[in-house]
Chains A and B, each alone.
Chain A
Amino acid sequence: MSLKADLEMSRRGVLVGGTAVAALTTVPAEGQAPRPAPPAAMPVSLEVNGKRQTLELDTRTTLLDALREHLKLTGTKKGCDHGQCGACTVIVNGERINSCLSLAVQHQGDKVTTIEGLGSPDKLHPMQAAFVKHDGYQCGYCTPGQICSAVAVLDEIKRGVPSHVQADVGKRPTASNAEMRERMSGNICRCGAYSNILDAMTEVAGARA
């Protein structure tokens, strides 16, 4: 059985089980208020890794959950789910964001790039190859977010976006160690692979210059 079929099967199982439990616990008592309206749902269309996707989603669905649970793109990870860890980082319309702190319905028509869209096992993105070469991870859970962020950071430096560590914000930033460390501070790695991540980024930044 394929991984995708497994996911679908297990999700269906969870949904069925969940419904049964809910039915046991929400039998309304006499005189109780009527059942609230079903959750609001809306159609959303976005371009994910170059492919147009149209979904019907509960409006509460975050971009992260839309990617993982609905499009089965499980490369993007859910860490804290509160914008503190960076594991959910994806690139939207060319800029990195925390996909956990964005509703999918906010992204109608947007272009989303996830780790799956950067490269593939047969054809790694240069940043993916550099992470492998420099051992930029241990457990790997934060890695998709780290790589999406790292790719976007080098682009931000190239576009001249200023940073906290610039002595003169009127000047263009450079891909120095201090700059890259500051700009990667929204991606936490519990294994502490930071110095190797920096080595990987330095190599890619150098190769580009």
Chain B
Amino acid sequence: MKSSTYERARTPAEAAAAVGRQQGAKFLAGGTNLLDLMKLEIETPTHLVDIQDLGLDRIEKTKEGGLRIGAFVSNTALSADARVRRDYAVLTRAIQAGASGQLRNKATTAGNLLQRTRCPYFYDPNMPCNKRKPGSGCAAIGGYSRQLAVVGSSDKCIATYPGDMAQAMRVLDATVETVKADGATRAIPIADFHRLPGDQPEKDNVLEAGELITAVTLPKPIGGKHFYQKVRDRASYAFALVSVAAVIQRDGSGRVSFGGVAHKPWRVAEADAALSLGAKAAAERAFAGATPTEDNRYKITLAERALASVIDQAKA
């Protein structure tokens, strides 16, 4: 691991300014992903700004009837919150489907949104990877791609966003609140937060240098039945091959986001609109224009079947 200096900021604006001011500085929240990558020298920050003392560890009601989740709220605390379990169960289910108990205790709301891909070529510094080293090429294309993206990918990158929590936030239409290095704040709809790889796969999301996530807000509850169906190689503690986050209403209408298939949580308006017509109709629309490899073509069938299972459970 490369040496880096360390400080604890006292306010969100101070933290953002500290990271914005210094080239190579990074925010440190739980550290479960960042430290892993620092040990492999895939991430080599020169300075760490710890955000644990910023008071961002609370979940509060918003005046619109929703919830405001502080950036530093742990995955465990968020999933265990009584209001989340009652009104946003898809979020509790998605979080509890990810990682291990130890990791969920340390992982944070903001950090989880920023989790980097688990593409094996991103993790192997001996291989080309446009995300890790822009311009070096993509070893995943034509390589071992069983776990990688089937839709929204580019000829530069077929990595997936690996997280579960964000899939639930996508169906709940969450908003990411930030403060920039100059102190300006903004609210980014979760739909626009993660990027597709395009020509700049090194950019996972739309955050600017020194821009700190301060909270994620959820709109008022939308009712319905909440599901997170995750399909993986082991029953527990494995990344999704495919996952389905869904909220389905009594009349069969609803919202669906697919995980493990793209560079961002994959929710398509036409697929939502076709949900009451069944899994086949919805999946056809969600995966129109998909560009799978021979090794991951199975994910499209798997996603449709996982959705069919969810729709069956909703009817039960």
Contacts and interface: CB of A to CB of B under 8 A. Distances in A.
Interface of A: 36, 39-40, 42, 58-60, 62, 81-83, 86, 89, 95-98, 100-103, 105-106, 149, 152-153, 156, 159-164, 166, 169-170, 181-187
Nearest to B91: A169
B204 to A, nearest CB: 20
B235 to A, nearest CB: 8
A95 B97 contact: no
A55 to B, nearest CB: 14
Contacts of A42: 6
Contacts of A60: 1, 3-4
B35 A149 contact: no
Given A101-B36, A186-B237, 17 more contacts: A59-B3, A60-B4, A83-B102, A95-B76, A96-B101, A98-B102, A101-B103, A103-B31, A152-B101, A153-B101, A156-B101, A162-B79, A166-B96, A185-B100, A185-B234, A185-B235, A186-B99
A170 B100 contact: no
B106 interface: yes
Nearest to B123: A82
A81 B35 CA distance: 10
B5 A59 contact: yes
B85 A98 contact: no
* Among A95, A101, A161, residue most surrounded by chain B Cβ atoms (within 10 Å): A101
A58 to B, nearest CB: 7
A106 B236 contact: no
A162 B96 contact: yes
A9 B288 CA distance: 66
A185 B237 contact: yes
B93 A40 contact: no
Nearest to B1: A60
Given A162-B96, A185-B236, A40 B32 contact: no
Contacts of B76: 95, 161
B102 A149 contact: yes
A159 B77 CA distance: 11
Given A101-B35, A182-B236, A83 B103 contact: yes
B39 interface: yes
Nearest 5 Cβ contacts at the A-B interface: A186-B100, A185-B236, A39-B3, A185-B237, A95-B105
B96 A163 contact: yes
Contacts of B101: 96, 149, 152-153, 156, 183-186
B269 interface: no
A106 B32 contact: no
B247 to A, nearest CB: 14
Contacts of A83: 32, 36, 100, 102-103
Contact of B3 (A58, A100, A181): A58
B176 interface: no
A89 B102 contact: yes
A184 B50 CA distance: 29
Nearest to A152: B101
B222 interface: no
Nearest to A96: B102
A105 B6 contact: yes
B89 A169 contact: yes
* Among B4, B32, B35, B100, residue most surrounded by chain A Cβ atoms (within 10 Å): B100
Nearest to A178: B235
Contacts of A105: 6, 50
B32 A101 contact: yes
B104 to A, nearest CB: 9
